[in-house]
Amino acid sequence: MFIITCPFCGERDQSEFSAGGEAHIVRPKQPTELSDDEWADFLFMRKNIKGVQFERWNHAHGCRKWFNVIRDTSNDKIHAVYKMGEKPPSD
Amino acid sequence: MLNINYPKIEKKDYPNLELNLVEPIHKLNLRGKSRDFFTKAGRILSIMLPPEPNTSATIKSISALWLSPDEWMVYGKDIEKNLMLSLDSEISKLNLGSVTDVSDQWVLINMRGKNVFEVLSKGSSFDFNQFKNNKNVVVQTLLNHVDVILHHNDINNVDLFVRKSFSEHLWLWINDSSSFL
Amino acid sequence: MSENFRSSETKFLDKTNRISFKYNGKKYYGYKGDTLASALLSNGVHLIGRSFKYHRPRGIMTCGSEEPNAIVQIGGSGSFTEPNVRATEQEIYEGLEASSQNCWPSVEFDVGGINNFISPVIPAGFYYKTFMWPKKLWYSLYEPAIRMSAGLGKSPTQPDPELYDHNHLHCDVLVVGGGISGILAASISADNGNNTVLIDDKNSLGGSTIFQDDENFKIDDEIPSVWLNNQIKNIKNKKNLIIKHRTSLAAYHSYNYLLARENLADHKSLDERSNKLRQRLWKIRAKKVILATGAIERPLIFNNNDRPGVMLANSVKKYIDYFGVRCGNKNVIFTNNDSAYETAISLNKKGINVTIVDIRNNSSSILVKNAKNAGIKIYWNHTVVDTKGYRRIKSIQIMKMSDDGTNVIGSKINLVCDNLSISGGWTPMVHLFTQSGGKLKFRDSDQVFLPNTAMSDQISIGSCNGDFELDDVIKNTNSECKNFLSASVTDYDSLTISCPKQKESKNIWLLPNDKPLGKTKPFLDFQNDSTAKDIKLAMREGFKSIEHVKRYTTTGMGTDQGKLANMHALGIISETAGVKMGSLGTTTFRPPYTPLTFGTIVGRNVGTFFDIIRKTPIHEWHENHKAKFENVGQWKRAWYYPKNNESMHQAVQRESKAARESAGILDASTLGKIDIKGTDASEFLNRVYTNAWSKLAIGKCRYGLMLNEDGMVYDDGVTTRLEENHYVMTTTTGGAANVLSKLEDYLQTEWPELDVWLTSVTDHYATASICGPNSKNILKKLFPKLEFNDENFPHMSFKNAELNGINCRIMRISFTGEHSYEINIESKYGKSLWENCIEAGKEFNITPYGTETMHLLRAEKGFIIVGQDTDGTMTPIDLQMEWIISKKKYDFIGKRSLYRSDTMREDRKHLVGLLTDNPREILEEGAQIVQDEKKQPIEMLGHVTSSYFSPNLNKSIALAVVKNGKKLKGQKLLVPMKDKTINVTVSDFVFFDSKNERLNA
């Protein structure tokens, strides 16, 4: 059980959040123009990294806002949290 | 005639803890982010919607609770039909944001006394250490796995909002936990 | 009267409070503050139980949570009984009843003791090897026999009547362990303004220093026990410090999340306990953690080292110095280090006979000098090769060791004794450190694993960090805490400390013997009876990983988790394999550190609080009218309303008929309701539903189907346009929260440009759904001002109305195929609305129906239930719902996936109807459907998703998903069941009123 710092509400227990998988996968604006393979790439392909990963989390039992988290999946260490639409911190 | 029925929640006393159902009470959900939205809401309610996370603003008996960067709950005994109508017509109808009556969506339970946070800590992972020393703070969290909004409006005095369908169950749990202080 | 072994006064017990208790049916006495172990020892009782495998007599070995042998059953029979309780931790109380475990008929004479004599034929892996064949004997013979003799204590046969609770705790600094280093850490932390919690598993603080009265140890010119006692008095008054006694840490997770069990009642008599909490589980979140968990003394591994009366030397010291109990009249201390000499000196001072056997050649320690001066006989360079005495040690045999320590030489010396105190050095308790993800390092000089790198903000101090000398403990604790807590000055900066230093050391994991290993029993894991030769056997048989050796030999797998002897197992493995211990590593330490009862783990989440219960505003009415309830998610929904002993089937048949013949009423309050406002509301609905919304007129309703991006059906429901920019969406009962969260996700992440606001109003409204040919008549009575003709209020439209001055929203929509209305009202009026409907419907025999009838009625119409007829692999095309997919819309969630090669496959499973050839036969939901029973392997074409006996059609009907089902209409298929095969024919899935004439009837 880790602690996540919601960019709005601050530090909360993990139990208040739900995970939303890999971050920065943008839904294509024109899906109908895509080939099966291109669409499948958007739909199914995820990196599932052992190590530092960019993820989406939702403060489901708090402010209900979605945001991004940079987490090391090998030890659950959270390196950064940033809002939707923001760029990941560079360091 | 239509009768009014609330979940089976009545006044209870425990050592340094008093529990009460506070109904009927009007509750409104306000959503919006434009400057016009803030101005209109502020003018009609005579309260600035608090922009600071986890805080509340109270004037007379009306309180506005921060729920998210674009969402507030406004509640109080003095909210009259006219107020709700003018919010609706000047915000919703003008597409500045949304105003939704949620009076029956939530049940308000008041908890007061020195043991308030002792009981809340049994079912919530939230750290109340700072919270309990501050007035006009708000937290949305889980209490015994149920979503709640807690408004600390005065020291050791908490307005707890719970969705109506969960309220009877949570009420039983609060009573159970209060009996093992 | 038996001999009293309480030989000295002690300030730690309340001598005015004499307590009686029963052990194995016999009455004994002790004092308030005694553990069961110290009280039994004071009565001369050493024999406590029988070992797990060989049923060898075993006695008390330690004085703490590491105890492998002295585990007992507490309480009599029935519900108030608990197995596997460590006698060394259980405090006595008036009326305590305890008994031995794993022995029959008694601990004195145990039939299972025969295993001891046949032990040469039951080596490690015996069970794995022996009971493999013949296979069929496993169920009939082997398993029942093993089960009967396996296990230690007896499980309670009734529910646990005790109360347990959970609580969260947040602190700046958590200190684990109330020994000297923990006390200093807590004091420094609190003085620095940190909100500090100190937890300790004993009933009082002080660890082993609190009974350290040896004159060779001094802190600021005071003996340690006196100095520490003052410190304890001191910290009790500190404002920022909470001290929790009898609280043991069970688990240390990442992010400094820890679980601790506080024992509130186990030391109290049964009368004092009633209706009070027994234990509380603390869920602790600490910003910083200081581990001061101490060290455990190591045993020595030699032949027959397990007899009652063989104890750890420091425990013997605690029994005499703390509890005032001598563990024997003729003591031998067998050691490889100086610390055991403290025990010898303590015993000697109290006039108790003691002899020392030391495997070292000599030691220059002041302690040794003092022992010599006191006239204690010391056998240098000797080892114990055997012990005698079945139920209690009677004598030992010692021999001189060769210079390299691998062999014994000379002749045996026999020493008569009734206690053998052993000491093999110290093992730092790094369990919690490693649980938290910390990595260890190995220190060669004294062969210990120590904390190295930690994953969270924490430090280890004192002996759990490898400091064993008093001055190191205090000085390092002080400096490390200062550093960790950024403290500039502490009360302990200028202490003067004097203490003897550990001198010559010698470590031999397995001591030499005159007999070959195969003829000896040098126990490593006392509880699981694994010996050094089991370890060597496992290695000979090819097990190399310590994790494998552990499982094969069961070393370290008892209730004590091998706290005593895991190090020796590792030592023997590394020696045998020729690998360095540091590179061998340890087995994984997993929570809990000491066993937890299930009661503590579940807390108050029992009975009523097992799961969350949601109720509709009309719930009470259903209850009063004898409804049976069904769990739908967390909701309690009325399932059916049996009348006069009706069976479920009878009730459902009656309700279903009534709903179609006259009028039925359903509580639909559980459906999710989302209020949607904003100028882009229509565009938003276009994107989330498969059909088009822009042209829906104000005041009209439309059914919508929501997909996932993969094209599979996710949810469905009716959405109503209340105003130009205002809709209210309904979702399925189970999907409400997920749908809202999914919609918010798209609005926040993919389409932030849309002006749309969502608010859940599920609980704000109560919903009564009235259906049937008389529904219109009932509505007319309730709302006399409203016009209900098909022009003014057609199917799929909405009206605002008032009922006794209260606003209602009425939707004319139907989930049953009947002419029907849904009335939504603020939920505080829900029950009253319902009662009004029932009253108004009386003359039409309005019949309340539950979810089962609802399911039946919609199945007659072939309406799907998302989650019952779909399972996340069904597209709308599979469901034969092409009509709901807009061809014009450029995009909506899941659209692109409907044109993937896989979703366009013709032989996907499709929703179809099934009719049984025998119309009375009802299919089982979930039953498999096949075409050819003889084909091997049999091909499963699909399964039944919904099945009912339709009273309105007077025949059995079913919905099913069948491979290529669209093309199979009219074809015969088979549904093989356990005892028969049912013949079915594929049909259309709309069974009733396929022209929808009743909607406007």
Q: pLDDT (tens digit, 9 = 90+) per residue, B128-151?
A: 999 999 999 999 999 999 999 999
For residues C194 and C852, give the distance between their C-alpha atoms in angstroms, rounded to a whole number.
59
With CB atoms and an 8 Å threshold, state whether C832 touches B145: no
With CB atoms and an 8 Å threshold, state whether A3 touches C255: yes
End-to-end CA distance of chain A: give it in Å, rounded: 26
Output the pLDDT for position C148: 54
Task: Delimit the domains of chain C by residue range.
Answer: 14-126, 163-295+428-498, 299-424, 517-591, 667-846, 864-1000
B108, B77 contact by CB (below 8 A): no
Residues of chain B contacting C725 with CB distance shorter than 8 Å = 95
For residues C68 and C644, give the distance between their C-alpha atoms in angstroms, rounded to a whole number.
61
Local structure of residue C140 (DSSP, 8 states)? I
Report residue C599 as tokens. Answer: 């009661």
- Per CATH, which fold does C299-424 belong to? FAD/NAD(P)-binding domain (3.50.50)
Taking alpha carbons only, the member of C709, C662, C434 closest to residue C561 is: C434
Task: Look over chain B and give the mean of its residue pLDDT values, rounded to a whole number.
Answer: 95
Residues of chain C contacting B5 with CB distance shorter than 8 Å = 617, 620, 828-832
For residues C80 and C161, give the distance between their C-alpha atoms in angstroms, rounded to a whole number.
7
Place of tokens 């990941």: A88
For residues C774 and C1001, give the distance between their C-alpha atoms in angstroms, rounded to a whole number.
9
Which of A3, A11, A73 to mutate against chain C (most C CBs within 10 Å)?
A3
CATH number for the domain formed by residue range(s) C14-126? 3.10.20.440
Partner A contacted by C745 (CB < 8 A): yes
**C700, β-bridge pairs:** C797
C357, C383 contact by CB (below 8 A): yes
Which of B55, B56, B72, B125 to mutate against chain A (most A CBs within 10 Å)?
B125
Helix (H, G, I), strand (E, B), or coil: what is residue C11? coil
Taking alpha carbons only, the member of C424, C403, C402 closest to residue C333 is: C424
CA distances from C18 to C28, C33, C39, C44, C73 (A): 10, 10, 11, 17, 22
With CB atoms and an 8 Å threshold, state whether C255 touches A2: yes
Distance of CA C646 to the CA centre of its chain: 42
Q: pLDDT (tens digit, 9 = 90+) per residue, C682-728?
A: 999 999 999 999 999 999 999 999 999 999 999 999 999 999 999 99
Report residue C697 as tokens. Answer: 């007129």
What kind of architecture, by CATH, is found in domain B17-178? Answer: 2-Layer Sandwich (3.30)
For residues B103 and C826, give the distance between their C-alpha atoms in angstroms, rounded to a whole number.
8
With CB atoms and an 8 Å threshold, state whether C832 touches B4: yes
Residue C836 parent element (H or E): helix C830-841
For residues C201 and C432, give the distance between their C-alpha atoms in angstroms, rounded to a whole number.
14
Task: Look over chain A and give the mean of its residue pLDDT values, rounded to a whole number.
Answer: 95
Q: pLDDT (tens digit, 9 = 90+) per residue, A21-64?
A: 999 999 999 998 999 999 999 999 999 999 999 999 999 999 99
With CB atoms and an 8 Å threshold, state whether B141 touches A62: yes
Backbone angles phi, psi at B159, to 5 degrees: -90, 120
CB pairs under 8 A between A and B: 36
Buried/exposed B16-38: b ≥16 CB within 10 Å, e otherwise: ebbbebebebbbbbbbbeeeebb
**Type of residue numbered C665:** I
For residues C820 and C839, give the distance between their C-alpha atoms in angstroms, rounded to a whole number.
17
Q: pLDDT (tens digit, 9 = 90+) per residue, C786-804?
A: 999 999 999 999 999 999 9
Output the pLDDT for position C136: 66
Taking alpha carbons only, the member of C409, C315, C369, C434 closest to residue C62 is: C315
Q: Report CA torsion sign: C508, C509, C513, C517.
A: negative
Output the pLDDT for position C78: 63
Place of tokens 């507030």: B72
Residues 137-176, chain B: which have Cβ within 8 Å of C?
144-146, 163-166, 168-169, 172-173, 176
Distance from CA of C170 to the nearest CA of B (A): 6
Residues of chain B contacting A11 with CB distance shorter than 8 Å = 127
Residues of chain C contacting A56 with CB distance shorter than 8 Å = 749
With CB atoms and an 8 Å threshold, state whether B53 touches A64: no
Distance of CA C643 to the CA centre of its chain: 43
Q: Which of C613, C617, C831 sits opposite B164 (nearest CB)?
A: C617
* CB-based contacts of C925-928 (< 8 A; 24+ apart in sequence): C927/C975, C927/C977, C927/C982, C928/C975, C928/C976
Helix (H, G, I), strand (E, B), or coil: what is residue B120? helix
Distance from CA of C834 to the nearest CA of B (A): 10
Which of B67, B72, B105 to mutate against chain C (most C CBs within 10 Å)?
B105
CB count within 10 Å of CB C573 equals 24
Output the pLDDT for position C1: 43
- Give chain C's largest Cα–Cα span: 116
Which of C277, C680, C740, C759 to mutate against chain B (most B CBs within 10 Å)?
C759
With CB atoms and an 8 Å threshold, state whether B122 touches C762: no
With CB atoms and an 8 Å threshold, state whether B2 touches C829: yes
**Type of residue numbered C660:** R
Q: Which of B104, B126, B172 sits opposite C827 (nearest CB)?
A: B104
Residues of chain A contacting B54 with CB distance shorter than 8 Å = 9-10
**C165, β-bridge pairs:** C280
Report residue C414 as tokens. Answer: 């026999």
Q: Are strands C196-199 and C163-176 parallel, antiparallel or unpaired?
A: parallel
Partner C contacted by B132 (CB < 8 A): no
Residues 895-914, chain C: which have Cβ within 8 Å of A?
895-897, 899-901
Correct CATH for C667-846 of 3.40.50.970, 1.20.1050.10, 3.40.50.300, 3.30.1360.120: 3.30.1360.120
C187, C491 contact by CB (below 8 A): yes
Q: Which CATH superfamily is domain C517-591 in?
A: BFD-like [2Fe-2S]-binding domain (1.10.10.1100)
Give helix then strand counts, H and E, for chain A: 1, 6
For residues C525 and C305, give the distance between their C-alpha atoms in angstroms, rounded to a whole number.
11
Residue C441 parent element (H or E): strand C439-443
C289, C464 contact by CB (below 8 A): no
Q: Report CA torsion sign: C884, C886, C887, C892.
A: negative
C61, C54 contact by CB (below 8 A): no
- Per CATH, which fold does C864-1000 belong to? Gyrase A; domain 2 (3.30.1360)
With CB atoms and an 8 Å threshold, state whether B68 touches A64: yes
Residue C415 parent element (H or E): strand C408-416
Partner C contacted by B55 (CB < 8 A): no
With CB atoms and an 8 Å threshold, state whether C749 touches A1: no
Report residue B113 as tokens. Answer: 């006394």
pLDDT beneath 70: ranges in chain C: 1-2, 77-79, 103-105, 107, 109-152
Residue B21 parent element (H or E): strand B17-21
- Per CATH, which fold does A3-83 belong to? Folate-binding fold (3.30.2270)
**Close Cβ partners of C84 (under 8 Å, ≥ 6 residues apart):** C71, C73, C101, C152, C153, C559, C595
For residues C77 and C335, give the distance between their C-alpha atoms in angstroms, rounded to a whole number.
42
* CB-based contacts of B113-116 (< 8 A; 24+ apart in sequence): B113/B14, B113/B16, B113/B17, B113/B18, B113/B156, B114/B16, B114/B17, B114/B156, B115/B14, B115/B15, B115/B16, B115/B17, B115/B178, B115/B181, B116/B17, B116/B156, B116/B157, B116/B158
For residues C727 and C704, give the distance between their C-alpha atoms in angstroms, rounded to a whole number.
13
Q: Which of B71, B127, B141 sits opposite A16 (nearest CB)?
A: B141
C254, C266 contact by CB (below 8 A): no
Which of B163, B165, B181 to mutate against chain C (most C CBs within 10 Å)?
B165
C461, C188 contact by CB (below 8 A): no
Domain over C163-295+428-498 is classified CATH 3.30.70.1450: no
Residues of chain A contacting B138 with CB distance shorter than 8 Å = none
Q: Report CA torsion sign: C537, C539, C540, C543.
A: positive
**Close Cβ partners of C927 (under 8 Å, ≥ 6 residues apart):** C943, C944, C975, C977, C982
